[in-house]
């Protein structure tokens, strides 16, 4: 009898153990709809990669949730006022700058090796190399020399004055990456040799509060606290980033409890799904809709003969009803864009050309450009060629695919044929865009820093090619001498009042030439468990994960 009683008690024990919801307060499973094509911080720019890396790797400086520039790895933000940034006369007669960074003394990589000024010097060496394939090498190319003063102090000598002199991103671990860099045999080869791609669970790659301890390509990434992190102790013991590329399946996983939350920043559910979810389950999660600098748009292949005519590009934009899309799909939360500059930014120019919905004018412009409706309603030119282009976006993103279908229908009404050909995000961003292997149009988002210049996306020097290791993100092939000159002028002007007219001209050029079709500025939708505290989205590319050490159960 006693034996049966004890057995019954033992059988009942599991009911007394903590259930999944209690475990979630130690382990957080985040569902995302994309998986990074690589993990090197500065090769192949992707929102999903930056989102993942920001848990584990800190830049020297970043903007916080209040859009204020702050130090993350340094002790004090260098400024002209505090003397850590100074103008200096260069041997070539030009005016440059000397910017001093003092690293926090207790920083360490995940293997316990100290983060030092030598890491800054190595990062400069690797990322100024045109063969490295770095997406945006401009900042490091500005540096003509790095003086390692001591273990924690480095002086960056800039060859010219630059308004972003105190904005610096990730640094690389010399003790690991120097060997990979040395093995690189030619342009783009460093991306194949880097430990970030070959051995992403190497602890010494990460200097943030977490480090990547598990990696299943295309499936999930596991992060655990960095034992050598000297900052605030993370409130979570384990974070799992789980990729479910179909957003409908991602929502099902959230409701079943297989994931605890959905990543924001455009890597999770679409805004219409989150709006519907809030109506169905208003009290189950915290729902956050954060206006952001993320700019949804459509890249046009500039050297496609169809898009070489400005009138055709204008017609494509006039033929789509972006305002109604915003009202119907996004409840008015995603304002229609005229250029890449958000109205929230101080350099926004309201008076550049705006294109409303005008299908009649679209048809008139097409006719003027030599495109007349054929017997099937699709336009043809004098040679009998159809006005037909390929249209791509991230496969499995339900909202993008819905927008794509609406646009396809609206273009058809204007005698334009659009052929949909979608790819998984890791393929679209990892190969198709990177190597400009698209023929028509690609819809995706640019993510911007506060006040960030469009050098990476609009400078002619940033058109990816084999020669530059497919670095840069000017996928359209846009090239305009005035835009190039304006980017340089804005870069060297420290006075905001003198910068403003330069920015106005850049936006005017963009709106007049239409290298891309502007769509919306996104409101990023976050679905967060009610027990998670300290979660504060930023609305820019210093993502919420950059502050993950402050997340905690409550």
> Other CB atoms closer than 10 Å to residue 81's CB: what's the count?
7
In this predicted structure, the answer to whether residue 429 has a pLDDT above a threshold of 80 is: yes
In this predicted structure, the answer to whether residue 14 has a pLDDT above a threshold of 50 is: no
Q: Crossing angle of helices 271-280/247-256, nearest 10°?
A: 30
Q: Please provide the size of the chain in residues.
A: 554
pLDDT band at 448 (very low <50, low <70, confident <90, very high): confident
Q: Crossing angle of helices 398-413/271-280, nearest 10°?
A: 120
Indicate the class that CATH gives domain 293-523: alpha beta
> Other CB atoms closer than 10 Å to residue 243's CB: what's the count?
25
Give the DSSP letter string of 270-321: -HHHHHHHHHHSTTTEEEEEEEEEEEEEEEE-TTSGGGGSHHHHHHHHHTS-
In this predicted structure, the answer to whether residue 351 has a pLDDT above a threshold of 90 is: yes
8 A C-beta contact, residue 214 and residue 222: yes
In this predicted structure, the answer to whether residue 24 has a pLDDT above a threshold of 50 is: no
Position with higher pLDDT, 184 vs 173: 173
Q: How far apart are the first and last CA of the chain?
A: 44
Alpha carbons 374 and 254: distance in angstroms, whole number:
48
pLDDT band at 19 (very low <50, low <70, confident <90, very high): very low
Q: Quote the pTM value.
A: 0.81
pLDDT at 476 (0 to 100)? 95
| Residues forming beta bridges with residue 69, ordered by sequence position | 63
Mean pLDDT of 468-481: 90
Mean pLDDT of 438-451: 91
Q: Which CATH architecture has domain 68-172?
A: Alpha-Beta Complex (3.90)
pLDDT at 397 (0 to 100)? 85
Structure tokens at 426: 């890791």
For 285, phi then psi, to 5°, come to: -135, 170
Give the DSSP letter string of 176-229: HHHHHHHH--STT-HHHH-HHHH-TT-GGG--SSEEEEEEETTTEEEEEE-TT-
Residue pointed to by tokens 């960074």: 101
Structure tokens at 31: 């569902």
Q: Using the Cα atoms of residue 340, residue 345, residue 348 and residue 353 in order, give the sign of their dihedral.
A: positive
Alpha carbons 217 and 523: distance in angstroms, whole number:
29
Mean pLDDT of 431-450: 92
Region of poorest pLDDT, from 173-177, 265-269, 437-441:
265-269
In this predicted structure, the answer to whether residue 8 has a pLDDT above a threshold of 60 is: no
3-state SS, one letter per residue, for 379-421: EECCCCCECEEEEECECCCHHHHHHHHHHHHHHHHCCCEEEEC
Burial class (CB in 10 A: 0-12, 13-18, 19+), 35: buried
Q: In angstroms, what CA-CA distances link 353 with 297, 321, 480, 486, 551?
A: 16, 16, 18, 19, 43
In this predicted structure, the answer to whether residue 7 has a pLDDT above a threshold of 70 is: no
Region of poorest pLDDT, from 183-187, 222-226, 510-514:
183-187
3-state SS, one letter per residue, for 45-81: CCHHHHHHHCCCCCECEEECCCCCEEECCECCCCCCC
Alpha carbons 146 and 60: distance in angstroms, whole number:
15
Domain residue spans of the chain: 68-172, 293-523
Closest CA to 209 of 47, 70, 72, 105: 72
Tell me the Cα Rg of the chain.
25
Alpha carbons 51 and 142: distance in angstroms, whole number:
27
Residue spans of alpha helices (H) in 24-173: 47-53, 117-127, 138-142
Alpha carbons 454 and 443: distance in angstroms, whole number:
18
* Residues 42-58 as b or e (16 or more Cβ within 10 Å = b): bbbbbbbbbbbbbbbbb
Structure tokens at 258: 């297989």
8 A C-beta contact, residue 207 and residue 196: no
pLDDT band at 472 (very low <50, low <70, confident <90, very high): confident
pLDDT at 11 (0 to 100)? 36
Q: Crossing angle of helices 174-183/117-127, nearest 10°?
A: 20
H or E element, residue 7: helix 2-16
8 A C-beta contact, residue 377 and residue 248: no
Render pLDDT for 391-427 as a digit per residue (tens, 0 to 9). 999 998 888 999 999 999 999 999 999 999 999 988 9
pLDDT at 354 (0 to 100)? 94
Strand duo 388-392 + 441-446: pairing: parallel
pLDDT band at 430 (very low <50, low <70, confident <90, very high): confident
Q: Using the Cα atoms of residue 460, residue 464, residue 465 and residue 466 in order, give the sign of their dihedral.
A: positive
């Amino acid at each position: 009898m006693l034996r049966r009683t004890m057995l019954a008690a033992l059988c009942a024990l599991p009911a007394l153990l903590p259930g999944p919801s209690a475990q979630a307060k130690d382990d957080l499973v985040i569902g995302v709809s994309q998986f990074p094509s690589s993990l090197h911080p500065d090769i192949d720019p992707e929102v999903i990669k930056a989102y993942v890396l920001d848990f584990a790797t800190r830049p020297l400086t970043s903007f916080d949730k209040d859009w204020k520039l702050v130090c993350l790895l340094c002790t004090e933000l260098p400024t002209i006022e505090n003397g850590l940034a100074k103008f200096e006369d260069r041997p070539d007669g030009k005016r440059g700058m000397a910017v001093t960074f003092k690293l926090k003394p207790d920083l360490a990589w995940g293997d316990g090796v100290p983060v030092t000024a030598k890491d800054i010097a190595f990062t400069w060496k690797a990322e100024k190399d045109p063969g490295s394939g770095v997406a945006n090498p401009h900042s490091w190319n500005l540096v003509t020399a790095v003086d390692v003063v001591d273990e924690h102090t480095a002086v960056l000598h800039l060859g010219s004055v630059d308004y972003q002199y105190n904005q610096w991103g990730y640094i690389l671990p010399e003790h690991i990456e120097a060997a990979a860099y040395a093995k690189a045999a030619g342009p783009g080869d460093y991306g194949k040799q880097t430990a970030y791609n070959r051995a992403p669970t190497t602890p010494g790659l990460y200097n943030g509060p977490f480090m990547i301890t598990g990696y299943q390509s295309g499936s999930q990434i596991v992060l655990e606290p960095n034992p050598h992190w000297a900052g605030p102790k993370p409130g979570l013991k384990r974070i799992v980033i789980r990729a479910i590329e179909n957003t409908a399946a991602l929502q099902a996983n959230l409701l079943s409890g297989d994931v605890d939350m959905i990543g924001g920043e455009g890597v999770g559910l679409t805004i219409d799904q989150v709006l519907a979810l809030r109506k169905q389950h208003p009290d189950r999660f915290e729902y956050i809709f954060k206006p952001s600098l993320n700019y949804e748009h459509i890249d046009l292949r500039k050297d496609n003969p169809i898009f070489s005519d400005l009138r055709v590009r204008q017609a494509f934009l006039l033929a789509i009803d972006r305002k109604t899309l915003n009202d119907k799909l996004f409840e008015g939360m995603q304002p229609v864009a005229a250029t890449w500059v958000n109205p929230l930014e101080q350099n926004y120019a309201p008076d550049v050309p705006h294109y409303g919905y005008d299908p009649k004018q679209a048809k008139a412009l097409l006719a003027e450009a030599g495109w007349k409706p054929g017997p099937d309603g699709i336009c043809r030119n004098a040679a009998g060629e159809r006005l037909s282009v390929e249209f791509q976006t991230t496969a499995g993103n339900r909202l993008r695919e819905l927008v794509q279908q609406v646009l396809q229908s609206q273009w058809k009404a204007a005698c334009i044929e659009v052929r949909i050909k979608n790819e998984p995000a890791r393929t679209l961003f990892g190969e198709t865009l990177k190597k400009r292997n698209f023929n028509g149009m690609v819809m995706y988002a640019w993510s911007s820093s506060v006040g960030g210049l469009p050098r990476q996306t609009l400078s002619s020097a940033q058109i990816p090619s084999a020669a530059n290791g497919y670095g840069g993100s000017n996928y359209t092939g846009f090239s305009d001498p005035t835009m190039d000159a304006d980017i340089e002028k804005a870069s060297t002007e420290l006075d905001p009042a003198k910068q403003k007219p330069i920015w106005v001209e850049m936006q005017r050029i963009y709106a007049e030439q239409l290298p891309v079709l502007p769509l919306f500025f996104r409101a990023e939708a976050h679905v967060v468990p009610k027990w998670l505290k300290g979660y504060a989205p930023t609305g820019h590319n210093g993502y919420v994960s950059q502050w993950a050490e402050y997340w905690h159960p409550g």
